[in-house]
Chain A
Amino acid sequence: MKFAAAYEQCRDSVYGYLTYMTRDETLAEDLSQEVFLRMFLHLDKFRGEASVRTWGLRIARNVFLSYAKRKKPVLLEEKEWEEVPDGSRSQPEEEALKKEKAGEIHRCLMCLSEQERTILLLRDFEELSYEEIGRIMGFTPEVVKSRIYRARQKFRRIYEGGTN
């Protein structure tokens, strides 16, 4: 597998996952650079048992966790709705409206734990199978299934409570 091909397959997935996890585009870009460097360094060890995207997302999660543990432990914590800053309010009104829903979802995600956020993103944003999510997070598909169920319920509770 060539790095260029792996990069093309993973670029938006990795960047998107990290953007949702950090809620900071600059930081997501910085962490994505590290993810692609690690992919480049370990490409020879990639045996193709999972898809390149699954492999890239697994690296992305590890990079995010190690960054958050060292530099920003707050990213690993669940927040109260009021604690999460609303980015759309600082933008022009039209643009803010356009991004309102995305912003709300983003804020809700930040109110989940790191595991809940990751599992929701992998399933509903990256559209990975239970098996693939299990590979990334180290769970069996059954555990993944039940955790997704709980994460979705929690997300909806927060979303409905926040937007009402």
Chain B
Amino acid sequence: MDEQRIEIPKVVYQGEDRKLKERVSKFKSGSFRIAVFTVVGCIMGAYSHIYTSVGFLPIKVILAIPYKINEAIYVSIIGTDSTKQNWYWNFTEFFPHSIIATFLAEVCTTILIGGAIYGSLAYFSGDKRVFTLGRYMKFGAVWCAVILTAVGASYFVNAKAVYDNENLKGDPVFTVVNSEGRGCGIGGGEDGNSVKEIFYSELEERAVARDFKGELPLRIVFDSVRYCVCGVNYEKQYLVTEKGRTYHISAEFAQIIRRYEEEGVMMPEGVGIEIIK
């Protein structure tokens, strides 16, 4: 084979190294700017719920954008429990059944959306040769994945909370809801523990013919983070969950509820009360 080489003259770069490294330095400064904008965006997202109380219009708009996008995702596009309210609920949280899910949805996701929006603004203000649309697609895809993970996590946490509520799992605190925003409840401590023991003593899932008129709304908070409102019929000794699962309750617990309705206090023998106003 022809092994004789062709003499191709050497080419040496005569310009400044700074010129060849220009895009690298632009990338470094642009990345720093994106990081700063992202952090600021996250802070904006964290405080975006106060946009209604801000008077200065530009700040109001900057704050409102992450909040409104978050609201659009949860309320308009997917839908939350608060958009499917029944007569028990009068809350505005995205996930009235779970404080953790609501925190993920209303705070964490808004922070991430703020970071993504203002990080993207910094991206597009960078050198067009370095921060190209093709590279932005990756940047945007990562943000979408992170935000969707947070959204998915909040729905998962809520679904788990609803499932646990339906099974009446956890450490409960009871409140008989007697009017909007007011109720009569039994909290923690020894008194609360006595009621819990009474509640769980004969609790058993059992099919019963419901008597809707005799059901009193009983709000139960499990483990301080999960909420549900059940119906209790002390005459027929049953409790019905939000999804219609019926449980037999002990006569003693039914007596507590009866006593509340007749005397206005929720106080079995030897058990103290806490009035929530």
Contact = CB atoms under 8 A, between A and B. Distances in A.
B228 to A, nearest CB: 49
A120 B24 contact: no
A29 B24 contact: no
Contact of A16 (B1, B10, B17, B21): B10
A155 B20 CA distance: 31
A36 B6 contact: no
Interface in B1-28: 1-2, 4-13, 15, 17, 19-24, 27
Interface residues of B, number: 23
A11 B20 contact: yes
Contact of B5 (A3, A11, A36, A124): A124
Contacts of A7: 17, 20-21
How many chain A residues sit at the interface, stated as a range, is 20 to 34
Nearest to B11: A16
A36 B11 contact: no
A69 to B, nearest CB: 14
A67 B58 CA distance: 42
A40 interface: yes
B272 to A, nearest CB: 63
B130 interface: yes
Given A37-B130, A152-B2, A105 B8 contact: yes
A12 B6 contact: no
Given A7-B21, A11-B17, A120 B27 contact: no
B27 A19 contact: no
Best-surrounded residue of A16, A145, A156 (most CB of chain B within 10 A): A16
Contact of B23 (A11, A33, A109): A33
B27 A41 contact: yes
Contacts of A55: none
A120 B23 contact: no
A115 to B, nearest CB: 16
Interface in A115-164: 120-121, 123-125, 145-146, 149, 152-153, 155-156
Contacts of B6: 105, 120, 124, 152, 155-156
A37 B27 contact: yes
A146 to B, nearest CB: 8
A153 B9 contact: no
Given A37-B27, A145-B1, A125 B13 contact: no
A54 interface: no
A36 B8 contact: no
Contacts of A64: none
Nearest to A10: B20
Nearest to A99: B9
B11 A19 contact: yes
A105 B6 CA distance: 9
A40 B8 contact: no
B4 A36 contact: no
Best-surrounded residue of A11, A12, A37, A109 (most CB of chain B within 10 A): A37
13 contacts: A7-B21, A11-B20, A12-B12, A16-B12, A33-B22, A34-B129, A37-B130, A101-B9, A102-B9, A105-B9, A124-B6, A125-B8, A156-B6
Given A11-B20, A12-B12, A33-B129, 11 more contacts: A11-B17, A12-B10, A19-B11, A29-B13, A33-B20, A36-B23, A40-B24, A41-B27, A101-B9, A121-B8, A149-B1
Interface of B: 1-2, 4-13, 15, 17, 19-24, 27, 129-130
